[in-house]
Amino acid sequence: MTSAAPAAPLIEKHTIGYVPPEDRHGKVKDLFTLWFGGNIAPLPIVTGALGVQLFHLNLVWGIVAILVGHLLGGVLMALHSAQGPQMGIAQMIQSRAQFGSLGALLVVVIAGVMYIGFFASNIVLAGKSLHGVVDSVPVPDGGRYGRYNPQALIAYTIGILVQIPFMNTPLYVGPVSAHIDGADLSWLVGLAVTTPLYAWLASRDSAYRRRQRGTELATGH
């Protein structure tokens, strides 16, 4: 009797570092759920609607334009990503072969700026969408919480610090990760800590703002 193939591990032990052949698993179709989930956001929906609103295409030609744009724009990325299963290295690390260890930092910076822009655009569109549905949700200049939100910055900083012992990267392996055979649980820890922490900080800030507003109304200032 032939023994059944071992099941893929529930928790990945590798992050952006080299993945040995025996630890590689998954199929091309598994990428669909990853990218489909990442694009269920306001920004991709609004971007797709530009074909109708800005370029005055009908629905059929709008879909055709989106498909052609994805095919043409994804050719080079597809060729680059095809190296991943062969080399066991993520694209960010592969770029060191073309640009060098220090030169690849340029790619990292560009990717970081793109990610920040993507998340910021989604947050702005989400806020405006909520304002369109519920008019009581304000969107004044600078955003609902002003030009910067100290509560979010505090939660973000603490979230980064608590992840350090659980990290497993080529540059650093945390003590907890090393103790549990290299599993990287940093993102789970960060999510578990920052979510309730920010909710608590935001609730205290909202209560303070309500008291401050009540004082202003009472004094007429």
Average pLDDT in the 180-191 region? 86
Q: Answer whether 54's CB lies under 8 Å from 73's CB.
A: no
User: What pLDDT is stored for residue 1 in this prediction?
Assistant: 47
| pLDDT single digits (tens) 97-129 | 778 878 878 888 888 888 888 888 887 787 777
| pLDDT single digits (tens) 21-56 | 888 777 778 888 888 887 888 888 888 888 888 888
User: What pLDDT is stored for residue 162 in this prediction?
Assistant: 93
Q: Answer whether 125's CB lies under 8 Å from 42's CB.
A: yes
Sorting pLDDT into bands at 50, 70 and 90, what band is 141?
A: low
Measured in whole angstroms, the distance separating CA 139 from the mean position of its chain's CA atoms is: 23
Q: Is residue 20 over pLDDT 70?
A: yes
Q: Is residue 13 over pLDDT 60?
A: yes
Domain ranges for the chain, please list them: 145-212
Choice between 41 and 3, residue whose per-residue pLDDT is larger: 41
Q: Answer whether 144's CB lies under 8 Å from 126's CB.
A: no
Q: Answer whether 48's CB lies under 8 Å from 66's CB.
A: yes
